[in-house]
Amino acid sequence: MGNGLAGTTLRVNLTTGEITRQPTDEELTRRWHGGRGVIAKILYDEVPRDADPLGPENVFIINSGIMSGCFIPAGAKVEFGSISPLTNGHGDSNMGGHLGPMLKFAGYDMIIFTGASPKPVFIYIDNDTVELRDASGYWGMGSLDCEAKLKKDLGEDFEIATIGPAAENGVLFSCITHDFGRQAGRTGQGTVMGSKKLKAIVVRGNRSIKVHDIESLTKQVSDIILRTQKHPNMEPWQKYGTSFFLKWSNDNAVLPSYNFKTTYYDDIDKVDGDQLIEKCLITHKACFGCWMNCGKYSKAVIPGKPEVHLEGPEYETGALCGPNIGMKDINHVAYINWMLDNYGMDTMSGGGVIAFAMECFERGLITEKDLEGHTLKWGSIDDVEHFVDMVANRRGIGEVFSQGTKRAAEKIGRGSEKFAMQVKGQEMSGYDGRWAPGMLLSYMTADIGAHHNRAWTITVDIAEGRETTEGRAKIVVYLQHIRPLFDTWCICRLFWGELDITPEEIVDSLNHITGWGITFDEALKTSEMIWNLTRCHYIERNKNNGRTFDYPPARSWEDKIPSGPGKGKGVTKEQVEQLLDDYYAARGWDNKGNPTREVLEDLQLGSAADNLEKAGFLGEPVEGGIPAVRGEKYKPKAF
Amino acid sequence: MRIKVNKDNCTGCRLCMQICAIEHFSEINPKKAALRIEAKFPDPGKYKPIVCILCGKCEEACPEKAISKSDTGAYVVDKEKCTNCGECIAVCPVDVIFQHPDLDHVIKCDLCMKCTELCNTDAIVKWEKPEAAAVKEAHNG
């Protein structure tokens, strides 16, 4: 009888090349649940507060979680974490595919990389064989090209994650790529790998994962799979993946277009899911153990350019590298997707950066002279191709944009901060929150910057009123506890929202795997503990009251939506302040956005309270004490 | 009875391999499955499930007479008789007989059909009454 763990944790000192093995800490896992949770704890404990995210003191962690690979629907995630060079706070990002399960089949739950290698290396894992190997022959290769070459050199049955030239060059929003199109895109985890000269992770294994109760698990999961095969969302999901959502977002006035100037795209029919399936699809593609196959393996065919293969564009890339930069041909969106993938840049931040640069060009803040004689016009594939090459190689003005929109706006100035669409240095996902106040609050308060995976509230905003901020903070807090749980367990979240599989069912699966016997409410409390720890960590590192970091760019309240079904709509600055007031109250933090000792001690985070106090940012005691919402299950009507 | 492969439908999820290993070994380990998925990426970008085609060559090759045809038409390995010599693996034209370091016998499909039950794209399906011409076409594909 097992507990879902593979059993071994590796520590790899990249500076010295020393590799040590230790039994995976079961007590740590029980408390922090693996994945994002364990990563948050280790980063908090081990990275000095003044460490440069791109220096050897940063710690880079791969964790395959407690449920990944365990015959769980969509149970294929692997979590990466380190201090983010974009946000300078706790950073994590995950990907699907097959790497997480394979790491466990090789016998490993986690790899903790410290230091920095003096020369390019990759880590080679084949069951008991764990080696750092010379990667100088692969350095400089595109992410996708490198994966193909490593498979050719080592064997098709290895699962491989790579970084591209952008990460090697220090582009801050670089990603990690796997399975020819799955990415851990956010928070610059690829950049951290690049700073450590770690080009790739190569894994093969043939061990079994032992779980607590294989019979109950098999029966439960088989029943879920057979039940959901008939769910009405299954067919569109299998056909389109997330790309069907572009039209929905457009109809509901949340689709970012032209660098979030508006939320309606006139040319949506040229870049939506139907176009993707009709013109680009090669094959449907699934992660390990997933029956929803949201991956769309595609080709981009453009006269005068090589035909390229890629996975996507899924919703986020489709939105941010489509309408948000004015593209009017799905092949062009797919080509940009491939370019960013192979250079190894996050397509979400990448799309945001291109859009921001396009608006700078439109406003004359950058010129053809800055762009080596090229223009940078909305919808121009050739302009984008040249610009992306400048960014990936940090050449000329590309150096400025390679640091993300926040830092680029600080350099460019002249009012550009207003339309640098980011929070805490991380570019926004593919939803505009101006007329979806819960979504805007989600971006403002997410611990890794403006990313939608912490809380996505648009259906709730629509159901409960888009003009009002009332009740939104509680929903955001609740979702910020439930959604990151999936990243903690290293399973995909999509089947929960799309196929009506309940969180309680997932906790049942967790118990069949681990034997923990916990409830969903207990899991939520663990998630809240993780959330408070990453908040303390962020404040300690960035040395100011939490509230100062939680504001979106001024476009979010100064510019009303100019076109489409949301015309004239948008939150006010007063509403933005109200959202924050309500949010801190819902969390039991003080009005400066700092966690209080009372809340932290209730979550067994007393030492974090001590540290925050020493840093001078412990929250003032809040009248009324701990708010009820923290333990209360607030179920949004629209879910 | 056979397993029919609709190769263009395969998404590479490997649920079939997981349930195969669970059914036969009560373990989660796709390397203990009696079928495999061929993935060709980045070019052309295709998956193909590879399953036993019931050719019977393994039965002929086994020096221990450990492989025999069952009532369902499957060529089944007698784990007691099997010496794990690998002769069957050498002759299998589609490479779907496997060895695993935990085991002292080979792993081979017994047509239990568990793999077909969970496939959500009908990439592998139970084939009750296969006709000879259709079998030929399926195997050549």
- The answer to whether residue A15 is domain-embedded is yes
- Picking from A105, A180, A214, the nearest residue to B41 by CB comes out as A180
Instruction: Please check whether residues A385 and A255 belong to one and the same domain.
Output: yes
Are the C-beta atoms of A479 and A457 separated by less than 8 Å? Answer: yes
Instruction: Please check whether residues A344 and A253 belong to one and the same domain.
Output: yes
The C-alpha atoms of residue A175 and residue A172 are separated, in whole angstroms, by 9
Using a CB-CB cut-off of 8 Å, the residues of chain A touching B47 are 283, 285
- The answer to whether residue A18 is domain-embedded is yes
- The answer to whether residue A232 is domain-embedded is no
Q: Tokens for A259? A: 């660098």
Q: Which CATH number characterizes residue A470's domain?
A: 1.10.599.10
**What is the longest distance spanned by two Cα atoms in chain B?**
43
pLDDT value at residue B135: 77
pLDDT value at residue A267: 98
| Arithmetic mean of pLDDT, A329-344 | 98
Nearest residue in chain A measured CA to CA from B29: A208
Is the pLDDT at B6 greater than 90, yes or no? yes
Q: Tokens for A573? A: 């600055």
Q: What proportion of chain A, given as a percentage, has pLDDT over 90?
A: 95
Total of domains in chain A: 3
Instruction: Please check whether residues A196 and A257 belong to one and the same domain.
Output: no
Q: Does A167 touch chain B (CB under 8 A)?
A: no
Cβ–Cβ gap A208/B28 under 8 Å: yes
- Picking from B12, B19, B46, the nearest residue to A286 by CB comes out as B12
The C-alpha atoms of residue B21 and residue B140 are separated, in whole angstroms, by 27
pLDDT value at residue A631: 46
- The answer to whether residue B140 is domain-embedded is no
Q: Which spans in A53-164 are helix H?
A: 99-105, 143-154
Is the pLDDT at B132 greater than 90, yes or no? no
The C-alpha atoms of residue A418 and residue A410 are separated, in whole angstroms, by 11
Q: Which CATH number characterizes residue B51's domain?
A: 3.30.70.20
Instruction: Please check whether residues A279 and A165 belong to one and the same domain.
Output: no
pLDDT value at residue A497: 79
Q: Using CA of residue A383, residue A384, residue A388, residue A389, what is the dihedral sign?
A: negative
Beta partners for B48?
A: B38
Q: Does A283 touch chain B (CB under 8 A)?
A: yes
The C-alpha atoms of residue A597 and residue A622 are separated, in whole angstroms, by 10
The residue to which tokens 């006709």 are assigned:
B131
Domain that residue B117 falls in: 2-133
Burial label for B101, CB within 10 Å (0-12, 13-18, 19+), is exposed
The C-alpha atoms of residue A441 and residue A419 are separated, in whole angstroms, by 17
* Interaxial angle between packed helices A437-445 and A472-489, expressed in degrees from 0 to 180 and rounded to the nearest 10: 50
pLDDT single digits (tens) A40-71: 999 999 999 999 999 999 999 999 999 999 99
Are the C-beta atoms of A10 and A17 separated by less than 8 Å? Answer: no
- Look at residues A204, A223, A258 and tell me which one is the last residue of a structural domain: A204
pLDDT value at residue A74: 84
pLDDT single digits (tens) B39-92: 999 999 999 999 999 999 999 999 999 999 999 999 999 999 999 999 999 999
Cβ–Cβ gap A225/B102 under 8 Å: no
- The answer to whether residue A65 is domain-embedded is yes
pLDDT single digits (tens) A347-362: 999 999 999 999 999 9
Cβ–Cβ gap A105/B101 under 8 Å: no
- Tally C-beta pairs within 8 A across A and B: 98
- Look at residues A420, A445, A466 and tell me which one is the last residue of a structural domain: A420
The C-alpha atoms of residue A603 and residue A617 are separated, in whole angstroms, by 18
Using a CB-CB cut-off of 8 Å, the residues of chain B touching A338 are none
Sequence letter at residue A49: R
Nearest alpha-carbon partner for A178 in B18, B20, B39: B39
Cβ–Cβ gap B29/A287 under 8 Å: no
Burial label for B139, CB within 10 Å (0-12, 13-18, 19+), is middle
The C-alpha atoms of residue A289 and residue A277 are separated, in whole angstroms, by 23
Q: Does B8 touch chain A (CB under 8 A)?
A: yes
pLDDT category, A628, cuts 50, 70, 90? low
* Interface mutation vs chain A, best among B7, B20, B29, B41, most A CBs within 10 Å: B41
Query: Cα-flanking dihedrals φ and ψ of residue A186, to 5°?
Result: -90, 160
Q: Does A638 touch chain B (CB under 8 A)?
A: no
- The answer to whether residue A511 is domain-embedded is no
Is the pLDDT at A635 greater than 70, yes or no? no
Cβ–Cβ gap A225/B14 under 8 Å: no
The C-alpha atoms of residue A81 and residue A95 are separated, in whole angstroms, by 12
pLDDT single digits (tens) A174-208: 999 999 999 999 999 999 999 999 999 999 999 99
- The answer to whether residue A211 is domain-embedded is no
Cβ–Cβ gap B28/A71 under 8 Å: yes
- The answer to whether residue B20 is domain-embedded is yes
Contacts of the segment B81-89: beta carbons below 8 A, 24+ positions apart: B82/B106, B87/B61, B87/B62, B87/B63, B88/B57, B88/B58, B88/B61, B88/B62
pLDDT value at residue B128: 86
Are the C-beta atoms of A90 and A36 separated by less than 8 Å? Answer: no
Total of domains in chain B: 1
- The answer to whether residue A84 is domain-embedded is yes
Pairing of strands A426-427, A8-13: unpaired
pLDDT value at residue A544: 98
Domain that residue A97 falls in: 8-204
Nearest alpha-carbon partner for A167 in A345, A352, A391, A405: A345
* Interface mutation vs chain A, best among B18, B24, B28, most A CBs within 10 Å: B28
The residue to which tokens 């084949």 are assigned:
A126
pLDDT single digits (tens) A155-164: 999 999 999 9
Cβ–Cβ gap B42/A179 under 8 Å: no
Q: Which CATH number characterizes residue A108's domain?
A: 3.60.9.10
Instruction: Please check whether residues A147 and A251 belong to one and the same domain.
Output: no
pLDDT value at residue A637: 46
pLDDT single digits (tens) A69-121: 999 988 999 999 999 999 999 999 999 999 999 999 999 999 999 999 999 99
Range from A316-320, A451-455, A620-624, B31-35 carrying the lowest mean pLDDT: A620-624
- The answer to whether residue B10 is domain-embedded is yes
Q: What are the DSSP E strand ranges found in A174-230?
A: 176-178, 182-184, 198-204
Instruction: Please check whether residues A294 and A441 belong to one and the same domain.
Output: no
Are the C-beta atoms of A9 and A22 separated by less than 8 Å? Answer: yes
Q: Which helix (H) or strand (E) holds A405?
A: helix A404-412
Cβ–Cβ gap B31/A144 under 8 Å: no
Looking at per-residue confidence, does A503 or A559 come out higher? A559
- Look at residues A386, A420, A454 and tell me which one is the last residue of a structural domain: A420
Is the pLDDT at A638 greater than 50, yes or no? no
- The answer to whether residue B80 is domain-embedded is yes
Are the C-beta atoms of A412 and A365 separated by less than 8 Å? Answer: yes
Is the pLDDT at A622 greater than 60, yes or no? yes
Using a CB-CB cut-off of 8 Å, the residues of chain B touching A234 are 120
- Picking from B8, B15, B47, the nearest residue to A289 by CB comes out as B15
Q: B131 to chain A, minimum CA–CA distance in Å? A: 28
In chain A, what is the straight-line distance between the N-terminal and C-terminal CA atoms, in Å? 36
Range from A225-239, A289-303, A563-577, B123-137 carrying the lowest mean pLDDT: B123-137
- The answer to whether residue B56 is domain-embedded is yes
The C-alpha atoms of residue A196 and residue A53 are separated, in whole angstroms, by 10
Q: What proportion of chain A, given as a percentage, has pLDDT over 70?
A: 98
- The answer to whether residue B98 is domain-embedded is yes
pLDDT value at residue B136: 72
Nearest alpha-carbon partner for A429 in A453, A464, A403: A453
pLDDT value at residue A639: 43
Instruction: Please check whether residues A452 and A600 belong to one and the same domain.
Output: yes
- The answer to whether residue B112 is domain-embedded is yes
- The answer to whether residue B139 is domain-embedded is no
Is the pLDDT at B141 greater than 60, yes or no? no
Q: Looking at chain B, how many residues does it have?
A: 141
- The answer to whether residue A355 is domain-embedded is yes
Q: In angstroms, what is the C-alpha Rg of chain B?
A: 15
Query: Cα-flanking dihedrals φ and ψ of residue A528, to 5°?
Result: -65, -35
Using a CB-CB cut-off of 8 Å, the residues of chain B touching A152 are none
Using a CB-CB cut-off of 8 Å, the residues of chain B touching A289 are 13-15, 18
pLDDT single digits (tens) A557-616: 999 999 999 999 999 999 999 999 999 999 999 999 999 999 999 999 999 999 999 999
